[in-house]
Amino acid sequence: MKFRLPSTIRHDQAGFEELVDLNSKAGEIAFDEIEIDMGSVTWLDADMCAALGGILYRLSAELNEIKLTGIRPDVEGILSRNGFLSHYGREKTPDRYGTTIPYQRFEVKDDRYFANYIEDQFIHRSEMPSMSTGLQKKFRESVFEIFSNAVIHSQTQMGIFSCGQFFRAKHRLVFTVADLGIGIRRNIEQSRGITMRADAAISWATEGRNTTKNGAIPGGLGLKLLREFITLNKGVLRIVSDAGYWELSGGNTRTHLFGYPFPGTVVNIEINTSDKHSYMLGSELAESDIF
Amino acid sequence: MRFGPKENEMNQGINLSVFEIVGSPLCVASDDGQKVHDRIAAALKEGRKVSLSFLNVTSITSAFLNAAIGQLYGECSEEAIRANLQVTDMAQDDLALLKRVVDTAKAYFKDREGFRRAVNEVLGDETDAK
């Protein structure tokens, strides 16, 4: 079975739509050879490897043999540097430009491994963007919140995929985490008994005190913290879950319903690295005021 | 589980180091938060005051704090926690995060109690109707 990728796959609504379309066309194929023809691809945002990798992993779990063919040299260069192609028979090449946070797959029990990966690949690398201490801490904690969200809520059996890219000229650092879990819509349905559209489900999860937790440990803060940070930072937050697309940009949100679902959830954060906001609090909190 | 202080032991405090319990400056995993919770809960159960130090901790998530501290509000009264638990060595932004977690946990357990009461009322009504 052969599938052709389009000329550009960016981390935006159209880019995600191409990937859910690929996932839908591939359907439930098993014990087959799947050729992903990338001959037309002239641009693929490297962080989108997390979502693409998740889809291809789902297909390989059905014992399909995945082959990526026709990759143009410039696209091959970046997908080799971030380690994506080493999952498909190529060797990883060194990242001479220092702009990639490598593509990697994690199990749900790998919280610490993920934390160390972020420290090693982002925090301890001199070629990564120079950001204020406050911003660097907020970015790091945001990606940890995203990973924790996937661990706690996704119920994935096939892992969590991540990848990042620094767009130096645009002062933008983009990081994507994808899981192959049940998605936000089904999670709300199972835990709260509320049925809603996939895009409305994402909105629900990012607002107020809404949470799908109902056990001994409270929850429901992670996505709200992300939303607040990205609004202050003037970045972009995109969430794809099931057939829903939700985007926060410039403080405004918009949603869209795809024709087909993504087989899990993708969270994509784009931060403005030239942000000089201190992220310090306006008023001092005393340790005695907490409880 | 409800914790009650044993009056003769109440003043014997215990210092807990988050860094020592987790073994890392990265306090990001819910499972690690659970380990911290279990130590705090065991100490409170024995009627000890707990001082929880975050010295040398560099990153904290809400998932970690929900497990470590948030869930205490489902086990102890707010008054008992306020009287017997204190945190030290936290940066201002981490304190702000903890405050959000605590406020969310209080609301969560109040909502859950209300939800449970409503369900019981409905089930009670159905039982009565039979």
Best mutation target, B1, B26, B50, to test chain A (most A CBs within 10 A): B26
Cβ-Cβ contacts under 8 Å, B32 against chain A:
111-112
pLDDT, position B20: 97
Interface A–B counts its CB contacts (< 8 A) at 118
A129 pLDDT band (50/70/90 cuts)? confident
pLDDT, position A134: 83
Mean pLDDT, chain A, as a whole number?
91
Cβ-Cβ contacts under 8 Å, A232 against chain B:
none
Of A140, A211, A214, the CB nearest to B59: A140
How far does the CA of residue A111 sit from the closest CA of chain B (Å)?
A: 6
Whether residue A62 has pLDDT greater than 90:
yes
Cβ-Cβ contacts under 8 Å, A220 against chain B:
104, 108
* Dist. CA A158–CA A160, nearest whole Å: 7
Q: What is the mean pLDDT of residues A102-106?
A: 95
* Dist. CA A277–CA A5, nearest whole Å: 39
pLDDT, position B49: 96
pLDDT, position B118: 61
**A2-290 has which fold?**
Heat Shock Protein 90 (3.30.565)
Structure-token pair, residue B93: 């932004």
Whether residue B7 has pLDDT greater than 70:
no
* Dist. CA A104–CA A72, nearest whole Å: 22
Interface of B with A in 60-119 (CB under 8 A): 60-64, 66-67, 70-71, 73-74, 78, 81-82, 85-88, 90, 92-93, 95-102, 104-105, 107-109, 111-112
B68 pLDDT band (50/70/90 cuts)? very high
Q: What is the mean pLDDT of residues A250-257?
A: 96
* Dist. CA A147–CA B21, nearest whole Å: 22
- Residue A184's Cα: distance from chain center in Å? 14
Whether residue A108 has pLDDT greater than 80:
yes
pLDDT, position B98: 96
**Three-state secondary structure along chain A?**
CEEECCCEECCCHHHHHHHHHHHHHHCCCCCCEEEEECCCCCEECHHHHHHHHHHHHHHHHCCCEEEEECCCHHHHHHHHHCCCHHHHCCCCCCCCCCCEEEEEEECCCCHHHHHHHHHHHHHCCCCCCCCCHHHHHHHHHHHHHHHHHHHHHCCCCCCEEEEEEEEHHHCEEEEEEEECCCHHHHHHHHHHCCCCCHHHHHHHHCCCCCCCCCCCCCCCCHHHHHHHHHHHHCCEEEEEECCEEEEEECCEEEEEECCCCCCCEEEEEEEECCCCCCCCCCCCCCHHHCC
* Dist. CA B100–CA A199, nearest whole Å: 27
Residue with structure tokens 């946070």? A101
pLDDT, position A64: 95
**pTM, rounded to two decimals:** 0.89
Best mutation target, A106, A121, A194, A217, to test chain B (most B CBs within 10 A): A217
Whether residue A241 has pLDDT greater than 90:
yes
Helix axes B30-45, A133-153, angle to 10 degrees: 90
Whether residue B117 has pLDDT greater than 70:
no
Q: What is the mean pLDDT of residues A180-202?
A: 94
Q: What is the mean pLDDT of residues A136-165?
A: 91
pLDDT, position A280: 65
Of A149, A216, A221, the CB nearest to B104: A221
Q: What is the mean pLDDT of residues B27-44?
A: 96
Q: What is the ipTM of this complex?
A: 0.87
Whether residue B123 has pLDDT greater than 90:
no
A30 pLDDT band (50/70/90 cuts)? very high
Q: Is A259 exposed, middle or buried (0-12, 13-18, 19+ CB in 10 A)?
A: exposed
| Residues near B16 by beta carbon (within 8 Å), at least 6 away in sequence | B36, B39, B40, B43, B50, B51, B52, B53
Residue A197 backbone dihedrals phi, psi, to 5 degrees: -65, 155
* Dist. CA A75–CA B21, nearest whole Å: 45
Amino acid residing at A193: G
Q: What is the mean pLDDT of residues B63-79?
A: 96
pLDDT, position B126: 47
pLDDT, position B112: 75
DSSP state of B25: S
A179 neighbors A154 (Cβ within 8 angstroms): yes
pLDDT, position B127: 46
